[in-house]
Structure 1
Amino acid sequence: MTTTERKKIVFPSKNELSDAMAEYIANLSAKFCTEKGLFTVVLSGCDLISWLGKLLQPPYLNSIEWSKWYVFWVDERVCSWDDPNSNYKLAMDDFLSKVPILNKNIHAIDKHYAADGNAEQCAVLYEECLRNLVKENIIPICSKTGYPQFDLQLQGMGPDGHMASLFPGHPQINEKEKWVTHITDSPKPPPKRITMTLAVINSSSYNLMAVCDKEQAHAVAEIIKHNNMSLPSAHLSGQVETVWYLDEAAASML
């Protein structure tokens, strides 16, 4: 690892993992809202959104300073906002619509180009959005890397060891110039996606990788036990902390 060593915590079940993740996020929200008056958090899709459900309950729902949150997506499927494949739709339906985050602080993929299936233009516009927020001093530039530094990125991993839309054997993980890139041949449908690049992901202050279920156990072991760097998730790092939250099933081959 180039910045921080991997730290892993194994929980008996998804429920305990969700509890711990809610506490972790709430503590970081309080820290950054106190220190700089805002909190930038990057979401992924799939099961991770359901695990955020504990933030919708006491004591977090009424104690978190939601109006100071700025929300982004580490990757997104290039489809309409109301498509069942949309990470935006998933997050809005199950989480964001239930907390008082300001609409102007929720930064989704461009609605029109996504509906048209134009992955390249969606990536260009999402990077432009990030660059504008850097100019507005919402997102700082990491002094060590020169890339935007989010406060927290919440990552998930597929059974093949991919994170975001960075897949094994695909060139996007090697992108060094762009902040956001696109893919049109994802091995996991839908094929068209945009994704933050590894350099941006690893410039975040905190990266939390949450993984559950036996299906992921082999990839977890390949990364944590064998340091298999051919898997994109093995490259996850953070400027302050990188932590892996695993349930017992995901950790069963360690």
Structure 2
Amino acid sequence: MTNARRVLVHADKQSLAGSLAARFITKVVDLLDAQHDVNVVLTGGSVGTAVLEAINESSARDSIDWSRVNLWWGDERWLPAGDPERNETQARAALIDHVGVIESNVHPFASSDGPLTLDGAAEEYATELSVAADGGAHPRFDITFLGVGPDGHVASLFPDHPGIQVTDATVVSVRNSPKPPPERLSLTLPVLNRSDRIWLALAGSDKASALGLALAGASTWEVPVAGIEGRLRTVFFVDRDAAAEVPGELIAVEY
């Protein structure tokens, strides 16, 4: 891991979401000028959904050729299709249903009311990743969005849980999650870290400790976000409350 982490502080959650949405649109347009398509990994949670809503509400939204955008998820709750707590459901309502994404380019995790078991769903998603990569383990992700929990978890990789240590698989099934629902699916840390750009969005004072520990070099086992670092860029987009424990020298003046 060679790139420096950057922390960009915004006044509040709303300005954070708007700033990240604007950067996303600009970057995707630039990438599509240079390559055929892009692979984006989405996250859930209130901030992640707010970012998608801000993208949808932007006047520049349709400057993206959405037919060349592939959408994946970093994790998913093992719930029935259409459940309002599923990351997929939230993302569709916030953005996907409003833009010209080709449905075959949308790659949600399986749902609990389908024919697959939790482990079978993990295997299926791993296969889908490898097929999209033309036989590799997974596609090169251009942009990966991640939220961060108060305990420092990312995707559904939780502190002191075995999933955070998995290095020989692209997808893990999660049981006994400390955050409901107890069963989930998640990309593994090595896959997340193969993303070119990882953009982490955090808002609220309850995230300040996790962010401070991550930037101070805490162990990945205890604070999973400490182990996150993209190939080219790793940027924390935070509000003032979440930045309370960030050393001043780590706060970037600009992107």
TM-score (norm 2): 0.90
- Structure 2 Cα separation of the partners of residues 117 and 251 of structure 1: 41
What is the 5 A alignment of 1:1-254?
Answer: 2-47=1-46, 48-111=48-111, 115=114, 118-135=117-134, 148-224=139-215, 226-229=216-219, 230-254=222-246
Contact in 2 for aligned 1:173/1:197 (Cα 8 Å): yes
SS state at 2:144 partner? strand
SS state at 2:39 partner? strand
Contact in 2 for aligned 1:117/1:192 (Cα 8 Å): no
Of the structure 1 ranges 88-97 and 207-216, higher mean CA displacement relative to structure 2 is found in: 88-97
Q: Deviations over 1:137-156 (max 9, x none)?
A: xxxx6xxxx76420110000
- Structure 2 Cα separation of the partners of residues 210 and 76 of structure 1: 17
SS state at 1:62 partner? helix
- How far did 1:117 drift? 7.3
Contact in 2 for aligned 1:85/1:190 (Cα 8 Å): no
Q: Where in structure 1 are there 5+ consecutive unaligned residues?
A: none
- Structure 2 Cα separation of the partners of residues 54 and 19 of structure 1: 6
Specify the code of the residue in structure 1 equivalent to 2:217: N
- How far did 1:31 drift? 2.2
Q: Deviations over 1:74-116 (max 9, x none)?
A: 00111111112211111112221111111111001124x5546
- Structure 2 Cα separation of the partners of residues 3 and 189 of structure 1: 35
Q: Where in structure 2 are there 5+ consecutive unaligned residues?
A: 247-255
Q: Give the number of aligned pairs.
A: 243
Q: Deviations over 1:49-84 (max 9, x none)?
A: 122222113432221111111000000111111112
- How far did 1:178 drift? 0.6
Cα separation, partners in 2 of 1:38 and 1:232, compared to 1, 3 Å: same
Runs of 4 or more above 3 Å deviation: 113-117
- Structure 1 Cα separation of the partners of residues 58 and 166 of structure 2: 41
SS state at 1:164 partner? coil
Contact in 2 for aligned 1:41/1:153 (Cα 8 Å): yes
Q: What RMSD over aligned residues (CA atoms) do the two structures have, in Å?
A: 1.7
